[in-house]
Amino acid sequence: MQKQNCMTMPTKGVMTVSNNNADVVKGIKSIAKEVYDKVTKKKAPSIKMPIRALNNVKYNPKIGFFELVGKMKERTLSASTVKTFAQSLLMMNESKKIVETDDIATKREMYYISKNWGDAMFNEQPESDTVMDDIEAMMMTNREQLGFIPEEKGGDVAGKLVVIDRDPDTGKEIKIDCTKFGSGAYSVPSSVEHLKFNTDAKFILAIETAGMFQRLVKHNYWKKANCILVSMGGVPTRACRRFIRRLADDMKIPVYVFTDGDPYGYLNIYRTLKVGSGNAAHINTFFCVPQAQFIGVTPQDVLDYKLPTHPLKDVDLKRIKDGVKNDPFVQSHKEWQKALDLMVKMKKRVEQQAFAKHSLNFVIDKYLPEKLKNQKSWLP
Amino acid sequence: MQKQNCMTMPTKGVMTVSNNNADVVKGIKSIAKEVYDKVTKKKAPSIKMPIRALNNVKYNPKIGFFELVGKMKERTLSASTVKTFAQSLLMMNESKKIVETDDIATKREMYYISKNWGDAMFNEQPESDTVMDDIEAMMMTNREQLGFIPEEKGGDVAGKLVVIDRDPDTGKEIKIDCTKFGSGAYSVPSSVEHLKFNTDAKFILAIETAGMFQRLVKHNYWKKANCILVSMGGVPTRACRRFIRRLADDMKIPVYVFTDGDPYGYLNIYRTLKVGSGNAAHINTFFCVPQAQFIGVTPQDVLDYKLPTHPLKDVDLKRIKDGVKNDPFVQSHKEWQKALDLMVKMKKRVEQQAFAKHSLNFVIDKYLPEKLKNQKSWLP
């Protein structure tokens, strides 16, 4: 296993593990050596990895994300596992090459690389994706650190932030000032492991819809509120979550989340951002944002701000019921249970744009300033 | 109707119409005055707009986009039309206010504004969207010029381009240098009407997937090829199409398109970018990119580059059949008919990432340079 360096600990037990390229290569070599040694001793080699499922996670609000509880699976080389075993080692070899040459590969590209592996070739991309997940879990790292980047991009950013990247050709530092994009924004790359930051902003505001983000950008809201705006565009991608997490950790600033007031905004977008998800428990430690707090739109806001609403759909009611019954996150927070109860009683959901009823910029002039002052109105 | 200024004519018959704010306000006032005059003369006022449907368009490859053929509908004030009539006028009034204050509103926000209109209030957003489409068609403009912006953002950009925006507070020019974002990119705003450009790039390369875009950015491909990279992220949004169109017109540079080699890439992504769509025919003149040319991945590339493929699905075959039978764009281009025929014969589709079989950067070192040199291998 590679060396793990604990860098910052914003919340008890949450670590940012930094693998520089040398560490990754070292980790891969060490696993390969173990396998090689067993084989030369004519023993069956095996590789161990944590089981990735909801029944292998626990949630402790103080730690702040779904953690693995330690059930492991072991893949021992045998007639039936020989192909997957070979594929795992071949993919680790690719990862080593990619990291050593400071290159990147998407999941799709990794699948096509295997077309040169003869009998070990993947027939379908899902096979290749599963092996990648296994390696990620085995190395206890996130696959971006192994050089494998997501297909999707990572959200948009505007406001009081300087991102420090480097020129791919020269390696020279590049400073990207996110106050200088006019009505546009900085688009976060697919992998953010190498980025550094500089900011004196007071907080990060993570926003569900591109439309609301555009309004706040258009009116330079980040200047008034001294903050960094991030557009998640629905459920945030891996890169977007990792970007917010690394930024919040490194700069030690809080994260406030602003979504539609519906079960999708609460239990998909916000919950995924804050604590992660069950089937990806082995990487929650990298992607969760335990310091996130929910500022709105809450069910109580519907009453307080007399907002126009839509009726809850059956799928909304089902999602709430599921959440209350099965989601360790909801079960750990009475405030969320109360909020969801109120929503069920009202039978109403509300959109971020509903404030436009009062006036187009009510959200900037009244709602956000009032909510930010009144921490009691937030949800955990 | 507002004054229309023909600005540039990159292809015969294609005009970029510029409405500055004063022109929009003038146009709205003129329609309102007509209605007012009729009412004061106790005559029934009416408003006219083009019919928005495939049977009201034609396609001439020389002009390069689906054009309206002129069928109009007229909405005369009567007992049955009184509510929609009032809503149209009220929404035009909102547009006037938004444009005069240099603000913006999304479709969703426009719907909520109507909650103050008493009996004329919209009950569902689709009603509000339809009235907005009507006004857009009636004014022969795109709704972004009326202050109404899309919910979605507009694609990512990297490379040899300076975008000139202005500070929302001071109105001062902001120059955004798209060579300076490291592994990140410039995220195009929801509305691009106000942007200006400066570039000496030789072409724009519009790319389907975020993963391929990230590879080209990671390796500074824009520097080697002296070009501008645009990530469309699937079917390009309105803002992305309009951005490419305005950039290509203003800077007089060609547009090359690089998508997966499948019917979705050809007939949805590329066709929509180049000629627009039937049910939005009244705005194709603003959003189409008639100068676009398709460089790959073509069915012939599968053979020439010995690419790994996937079998065509039933939905792919259906889309090809529909296209050949009903799509005026396919019917006008023998080259596309031949390419689709070859695809059906091979029963294969191919992804942009398939080049990774040869090596991760084959696409940069071999494929793109070879294709760009060999115009005969492109599709129109």
Which pair of tokens denotes residue A84? 């997957």
Q: How far is A219 from chain B (nearest CA, A)?
A: 6
Place of tokens 């229309």: B4
Confidence (pLDDT) at A4: 33
Question: In terms of residues, how long is chain B?
Answer: 380
The residues that bridge with B59 in the sheet, in sequence order, are B66
CB contact under 8 A, A360 and B98: yes
- Cα–Cα distance between B353 and B346 in angstroms, integer? 19
User: CA-CA distances (angstroms) from residue A4 to A192, A251, B29?
Assistant: 18, 21, 67
Closest among A229, A291, A232, A243 to A265, alpha carbons compared: A232
pLDDT digits (tens, 9 = 90+) for A109-121: 999 999 999 999 9
> What are the DSSP calls for A295-345, one per residue?
EE--HHHHHHTT---EEPPHHHHHHHHHHHHH-HHHHH-HHHHHHHHHHHH
For residue A19, the SS3 value is coil
Picking from B115, B185, B357, the nearest residue to A115 by CB comes out as B357
Confidence (pLDDT) at A138: 86
- Cα–Cα distance between A281 and A145 in angstroms, integer? 17
Place of tokens 């009998």: A119
Picking from B163, B168, B360, the nearest residue to A103 by CB comes out as B360
Q: How far is A152 from chain B (nearest CA, A)?
A: 6
Closest among A154, A354, A342 to A243, alpha carbons compared: A154
Place of tokens 């570039």: B199
Tell me the pLDDT of chain B (380 aa) as tens digits.
333 332 222 333 333 334 478 888 999 999 999 999 999 999 999 888 888 776 777 888 787 777 777 788 888 888 888 999 999 999 999 999 999 998 999 999 999 999 999 999 999 999 999 999 889 888 888 899 999 998 888 899 999 999 999 988 888 999 999 999 999 999 999 999 999 999 999 999 999 999 999 999 999 999 999 999 999 988 999 999 999 999 999 999 999 999 999 999 999 999 999 988 766 777 888 899 999 999 999 999 999 999 999 999 999 999 999 999 988 899 999 999 999 999 999 999 999 999 999 999 999 999 999 999 999 999 99
The residues that bridge with B281 in the sheet, in sequence order, are none
Confidence (pLDDT) at B216: 96
Closest among A88, A10, A13 to A293, alpha carbons compared: A10
Which pair of tokens denotes residue A113? 């690389």
Which residues of A are part of the catalytic machinery? 112
Q: How far is A268 from chain B (nearest CA, A)?
A: 20
Helix or strand run (H / E) with residue B323: helix B314-326
Confidence (pLDDT) at A11: 32
Tell me the torsion sign for CA atoms A53, A55, A56, A62: positive
Please state, as a whole number, how many other Cβ atoms lie within 10 Å of the Cβ of residue A303.
Answer: 12
- Cα–Cα distance between A55 and A38 in angstroms, integer? 32
DSSP A13: T
Using DSSP bridges, classify how beta strands B148-149 and B105-106 pair: parallel, antiparallel or unpaired.
Answer: parallel
For an interface test with B, give the residue of A109, A207, A224, A307 to mutate (most B CBs within 10 A).
A109
CA atoms within 13 A on the CB side of B281: 20
Q: Which amino acid is at B323?
A: G
Confidence (pLDDT) at A57: 76
Q: Which amino acid is at A258?
A: F
User: CA-CA distances (angstroms) from residue B177 to A164, A336, A339?
Assistant: 16, 45, 46
**Which chain A residues are Cβ-neighbours of B104 within 8 angstroms?**
214-215, 218
Higher pLDDT, A48 or A358: A358
Cβ-contact B201, B160 below 8 angstroms: yes
* Residue B82: cis peptide before it, omega within 30 degrees of 0: no
Question: In chain A, which residue's Cα lies nearest the Cα of B97?
Answer: A360
* Residues above pLDDT 70, as percent of chain A: 94
Which pair of tokens denotes residue B299? 């069915």
pLDDT interval class at A52 (50, 70, 90): confident
Mean of the per-residue pLDDT values for chain A? 89
pLDDT interval class at A54 (50, 70, 90): low
CB contact under 8 A, B214 and A190: yes
Picking from A168, A174, A187, the nearest residue to B185 by CB comes out as A187
Picking from A150, A308, A360, the nearest residue to B115 by CB comes out as A308
Confidence (pLDDT) at B153: 83
Please state, as a whole number, how many other Cβ atoms lie within 10 Å of the Cβ of residue A376.
Answer: 5
Confidence (pLDDT) at B254: 98
Please state, as a whole number, how many other Cβ atoms lie within 10 Å of the Cβ of residue B376.
Answer: 5
Q: Which amino acid is at B123?
A: N
Which pair of tokens denotes residue A102? 């400071």
Burial class of residue B377 in the structure, from the number of CB atoms within 10 Å of its CB (0-12 exposed, 13-18 middle, 19+ buried)? middle
Q: What are phi and psi of B202, to 5 degrees?
A: -85, -25
Higher pLDDT, B279 or A216: A216
Cβ-contact A177, A160 below 8 angstroms: no
Q: What are phi and psi of B270, to 5 degrees?
A: -70, -50
Tell me the torsion sign for CA atoms B316, B318, B321, B326: negative
Cβ-contact A125, A111 below 8 angstroms: yes
For residues B306-319, one letter each, b for 16 or more C-beta atoms within 10 angstroms of the residue's C-beta and e for the rest, the string is ebbbeebeeebeeb
Q: What is the mean pLDDT of residues A308-324?
A: 93
Confidence (pLDDT) at A23: 87
- Cα–Cα distance between B334 and B325 in angstroms, integer? 13
Cβ-contact B104, B147 below 8 angstroms: yes
Confidence (pLDDT) at B54: 67
pLDDT over threshold 50, residue A7: no
DSSP B235: S
Burial class of residue B187 in the structure, from the number of CB atoms within 10 Å of its CB (0-12 exposed, 13-18 middle, 19+ buried)? buried
Confidence (pLDDT) at B163: 98
For residue B76, the SS3 value is strand
Cβ-contact A128, A41 below 8 angstroms: no
Which pair of tokens denotes residue A320? 């709430």
DSSP B289: -
> What are the DSSP calls for A83-149, one per residue?
HHHHHHHHHHHHHHHHHHTT--EEHHHHHHHGGGSGGG--SSHHHHHHHHHHHHHHTTS-GGGGTEE
Of B112, B221, B266, B270, which is the active-site residue? B112
For residues A329-354, one letter each, b for 16 or more C-beta atoms within 10 angstroms of the residue's C-beta and e for the rest, the string is bbeebeebeebbeebbeeebbbbbbb
Cβ-contact A146, A99 below 8 angstroms: yes
CA atoms within 13 A on the CB side of A144: 24
Confidence (pLDDT) at B3: 35
pLDDT digits (tens, 9 = 90+) for A165-178: 998 888 899 999 99
Interhelix angle B82-100/B21-40, nearest 10 degrees: 150
- Cα–Cα distance between B192 and B366 in angstroms, integer? 34
pLDDT digits (tens, 9 = 90+) for A231-250: 998 899 999 999 999 999 99
Using DSSP bridges, classify how beta strands B156-159 and A57-59 pair: parallel, antiparallel or unpaired.
Answer: unpaired
Q: Which amino acid is at A143?
A: R
Cβ-contact A297, A348 below 8 angstroms: no
Q: What are phi and psi of A38, to 5 degrees?
A: -60, -45
The model's pTM: 0.89
CB contact under 8 A, B180 and A186: no
* Residue B17: cis peptide before it, omega within 30 degrees of 0: no
CB contact under 8 A, B182 and A169: no
Interhelix angle A334-346/A314-326, nearest 10 degrees: 160
Question: In chain B, which residue's Cα lies nearest the Cα of A116?
Answer: B357
